[in-house]
Structure 1
Amino acid sequence: MSSLLRKKIIVTGEDQPPEHRLARTLSWPHLVALGVGAIVGTGILTLIGVGADRAGPSVLLSFAVAGAICACAALCYAEMATMIPASGSAYTYSYAVLGEVIAWVVGWSLILEYSLVVATVAVGWSGYATGFLHGLGIDLPGWMTHGPTLAGTACDGTAQAASFGVNLPAVLIIAVVATLLSLGTRESARINTMLVLLKIATLALFVAVALPHFDAANLKPFAPFGYGSVAGACGVKHGMMGAAAIIFFAFYGFDAISTAAEETKRPERDLAIGIIGSMAACTVIYMVVAATAIGATSFTVFGKSAEPLALILRQLGQGGIATIVAAAAAIALPTVILGFLYGQSRIFLVMARDGFLPPALAQVSARGTPARITAVTAVFVSVIAALTPLDVIASLANAGTLCAFIAVAACVFVSRRRDPNAKRPFRTPLVWAVVPVAILGCLYLFGSLQTVTQVSFLAWNAVGLAVYFAYARSRAKVA
């Protein structure tokens, strides 16, 4: 048991050997932009429709509940990131505070989260790009725009034939983003900032055009499926809390900021500003956009749409603005890929340093970027995006994130009890309220996920523990 709970002594960036040392090039504006870029994306552009379909107008409360739980988790992340300014995010904090086997489970869960988010957004971008090319008169072969599908019966009772496919546009965008990250962290941060500004301008345009059409009648009935979580067809859970469990996908991304600790100029100050600032900004953006969407059009109109904001604008007779919003979304979505691919490559980097992955992958290029691990990560994620059917992908990614959030909140609690006098540049306010809300809220959201998602998550971690005992445990450097 003592070997399972052995802890790692944290080595910060300056104490790393030169071949493993990352360049400090980021300040708090870069971190806020990284967080907003990772958070604002697929969630508000597509999941608002999924949430409205499951909760009706009470999806506004779903956003509020998911945002409140994420805000508590963000405060915990801010304390741990400034206290332990090292790459690796929840994996590193767990290794230093809770012990090795827990850190492995968290790291394994983060692989699930980051990989599936990158793959999901890449597939979503592929759909936008394919539609854009179609508008230009360029039609790609069908097999080139989607992954393989299996024969069966869909939830609506329709038959589904088997088909072969490789989603090449999704692979292409992952390759482009990975190349940008390999060129330099500062360079990729600058491009990310410009695309984030474009994304915010696009959402502001939607609000400016749709808000004048707000009709309070569209908010009735406010909670047609109730305020809890009720199972429906194919295990899909409806109700305000059932929608919150999916909309949770729309809020996380701020955890990617904590992976930038070793590349931040002043981590004690900038990490807290980046995490809390991006979370606060995105919560305001989401509530304004969601209220505008629900008030402008009945949720029954756009609830099942893959592009709900553009559909709402078309319903309002603003086809030209809808085209602009759709095009800007396609241009800006890669910021989500950049944020999560950046975070996953840094987590893999730290796991390689710790001996859980081949140490050669931890080497840093002359530009101060982990080019090797970034390339390996891109290949790994590209395979998922190109070949995997992603029916419940958002829910499964949520499960990995909920695990990480619970671990970070637990780290705050344990470190406060174990070492109350340790230096904490940022201290979580009202910690005895914030930590329980974060842990219990995440557990409740996990219970609101589909049963197949919960079983898949447990199966993923069962495989992970087998890998740990068969391979990783004996190779850990702390051994």
Structure 2
Amino acid sequence: MSKLLRRKAIVTGDAQPAEHRLARTLSWPHLVALGVGAIVGTGILTLIGVGADRAGPAVLISFAIAGAICACAALCYAEMATMIPASGSAYTYSYSVLGEVFAWVVGWSLILEYSLVVATVAVGWSGYAVAFLHGLGIVLPDALTHGPAVAGSLMDGTFHLTASGVNLPAILIIAVVAGLLMLGTKESATVNTALVVLKIVTLALFVAVALPHFDPANLKPFAPLGYGSTPGADGVKYGVMGAAAIIFFAFYGFDAISTAAEEAKNPERDLAIGIVGSMVACTAIYMIVAAAAVGALHYTAFANSPEPLALILRGIGQPTVSTIVAAAAAIALPTVLLAFLYGQTRIFMVMARDGFLPTNLARVSKRGTPATITAVTATFVAFIAAVTPLDLIASLANAGTLCAFIAVAACVLIMRRRDPNRRRPFRTPAVWIVAPAAILGCLYLFTSLQAVTQKSFFVWNAIGLLIYLGYGLARSKASAPVTT
């Protein structure tokens, strides 16, 4: 039991061996752009259709609820990231505060979050790219634009394949982003910043064109499926809270900033600015875009569309602007891929340093990037993106994220009790309200996920614990319990 609960003394990036040391090249504007690039993406460009299908026009409330819960979690992340300026995000914080077995569970859950987010965004990007090419008269074979279509459930034995296919565009975009990350962190951040600006301009264009078409009649009935979370015949949970559980995916991404702790020039200042600043900006953007979307066209017309904003523009007689938005989305959505693939590789790198993965995966290239683990991670997520439906992987990614958010909020509360006088460059305001709100909100959102998602999450972590007990426990480099 002492091994399971041993806590690791955190070694910051500057104290790492040369072969494991990352270059400090990022300033706070890079981090804000990284956060905005991660947060503003698939959630508003593609998942707004899924959310509208589950909640109707009341998806606006779903956005507000998910955003409020994420804001509480973001404040907790800002405190932990500035107090422990080391790569690894929630995994690292859990290792130093909760203990090794909890760190493993969080790290294993983060594989769900980051890897499946990359896969989800790649699938979403594919939908916009295919639509854009179609507008230019280029039609790709249907079997190369989506993964296999399935029906039924694994749980009751009715699961079966209804259509075959491989999402080739999703594979290609992951390969391009992985190549950019291996080229260099500063170079990646510069490209990311430029694409984030393009993405914000695109959303502003959508609002400017769609808002004049706002019709209050499109908001009726406002909440056709209720305000709670009600399971449908297909196993999907409908209603405002059911939609919030999937739209939650649209708001996180700020946690990717915390993985950049060892590459930030001034982590104690820049991490807090990046995390809090990106959340504030993105919440405002989301509410404006969502209101323009559901007001311009009745939700039934774009529910579950892979490119809802472009579809809305076509529906209000703006095919040219629709093509522009589809093109800009195809160009700018990779910022989300870049942010989350970046975060995933840094978490894997820290787990490799700790002995939970082969140590040679933690080596950095001459350009100061973990090239090997980036290539391995990209291959893994490309396979997922090629063969998995969008709504399933988005929902499962949410489960992993909720676990990480709960862990970070718990770490904040424990450290306030365990070490109240420790230096905290950023302090979570009203911590005994904000942190519990993050924990309870995340727990409630988890109960609002599909039953198959909840079961899959527990199965995933059961497999993870077996791997930890059989492989990770003996190879852990933590020699003895330590205090932090």
Distance in 2, matches of 1:299 and 1:45, equals 14
Distance in 2, matches of 1:13 and 1:126, equals 36
Distance in 2, matches of 1:49 and 1:142, equals 21
2:478 matches 1:478: yes
Unaligned ranges ≥5, structure 2: 154-158, 480-484
Distance in 2, matches of 1:150 and 1:220, equals 32
* Further displaced range: 304-313 or 134-143: 134-143
Distance in 2, matches of 1:163 and 1:203, equals 34
Q: Which residue number corresponds to residue 156 of structure 1?
A: none
How far residue 162 of structure 1 moved from its aligned partner, in angstroms, is 4.6
Question: 1:152 and 1:84, CA in 2 relative to 1: closer, same or farther beyond 3 A?
Answer: closer
Distance in 2, matches of 1:151 and 1:307, equals 22
Q: Deviations over 1:372-431 (max 9, x none)?
A: 111111111122222344551111000000000000000000011000011100000000
Question: 1:429 and 1:12, CA in 2 relative to 1: closer, same or farther beyond 3 A?
Answer: same
**Aligned length in residues:** 474
Distance in 1, matches of 2:393 and 2:285, equals 24
Question: 1:187 and 1:394, CA in 2 relative to 1: closer, same or farther beyond 3 A?
Answer: same
Q: Which residue number corresponds to residue 214 of structure 1?
A: 214
How far residue 217 of structure 1 moved from its aligned partner, in angstroms, is 2.8
2:274 matches 1:288: no
Structure 1 SS opposite 2:365: coil
Structure 2 SS opposite 1:234: coil
Partner amino acid for 1:109?
S
Q: Which residue number corresponds to residue 182 of structure 1?
A: 182
Partner amino acid for 1:216?
P
Structure 2 SS opposite 1:233: coil
Distance in 2, matches of 1:177 and 1:361, equals 19
* Further displaced range: 358-367 or 132-141: 132-141
Q: Deviations over 1:286-333 (max 9, x none)?
A: 000111112222222222322221122122111111111111111111
* Further displaced range: 216-225 or 238-247: 216-225
Q: Which residue number corresponds to residue 450 of structure 2?
A: 450
The two structures, once aligned, show a CA RMSD in angstroms of 1.6
Q: Deviations over 1:12-45 (max 9, x none)?
A: 0110111110000001110010011111111001
2:72 matches 1:72: yes
Partner amino acid for 2:378?
A
Distance in 2, matches of 1:402 and 1:216, equals 34
Would you say the 8 A contact 2:132–2:323 is kept in 1? no
Unaligned ranges ≥5, structure 1: 154-158
How far residue 164 of structure 1 moved from its aligned partner, in angstroms, is 4.1
Partner amino acid for 1:443?
L
Distance in 1, matches of 2:474 and 2:443, equals 32
Q: Deviations over 1:198-233 (max 9, x none)?
A: 110010001111111222232233222221111112
Partner amino acid for 1:428?
T
2:276 matches 1:276: yes
Distance in 2, matches of 1:151 and 1:322, equals 31
Question: 1:309 and 1:139, CA in 2 relative to 1: closer, same or farther beyond 3 A?
Answer: closer
Distance in 1, matches of 2:309 and 2:135, equals 19
Q: Which residue number corresponds to residue 377 of structure 1?
A: 377
Alignment of 1:414-433 (within 5 A): 414-433=414-433
Distance in 2, matches of 1:253 and 1:306, equals 21
Partner amino acid for 1:212?
P
Alignment of 1:14-163 (within 5 A): 14-149=14-149, 162-163=162-163
* Further displaced range: 136-145 or 448-457: 136-145
How far residue 130 of structure 1 moved from its aligned partner, in angstroms, is 2.7
Distance in 2, matches of 1:304 and 1:163, equals 18
Structure 1 SS opposite 2:329: helix
Would you say the 8 A contact 2:131–2:326 is kept in 1? no
Q: Deviations over 1:73-104 (max 9, x none)?
A: 00000000000000000000000000000000
* Further displaced range: 430-439 or 375-384: 375-384
Q: Which residue number corresponds to residue 482 of structure 2?
A: none
Q: Deviations over 1:247-266 (max 9, x none)?
A: 10100011000000000000
Partner amino acid for 1:9?
A
Q: Which residue number corresponds to residue 403 of structure 2?
A: 403
Distance in 2, matches of 1:178 and 1:3, equals 36
Partner amino acid for 2:84?
I
How far residue 54 of structure 1 moved from its aligned partner, in angstroms, is 1.3
Q: Deviations over 1:121-157 (max 9, x none)?
A: 112222322333333343334443333345769xxxx
Would you say the 8 A contact 2:135–2:323 is kept in 1? no
Question: TM-score, normalised on structure 2?
Answer: 0.95
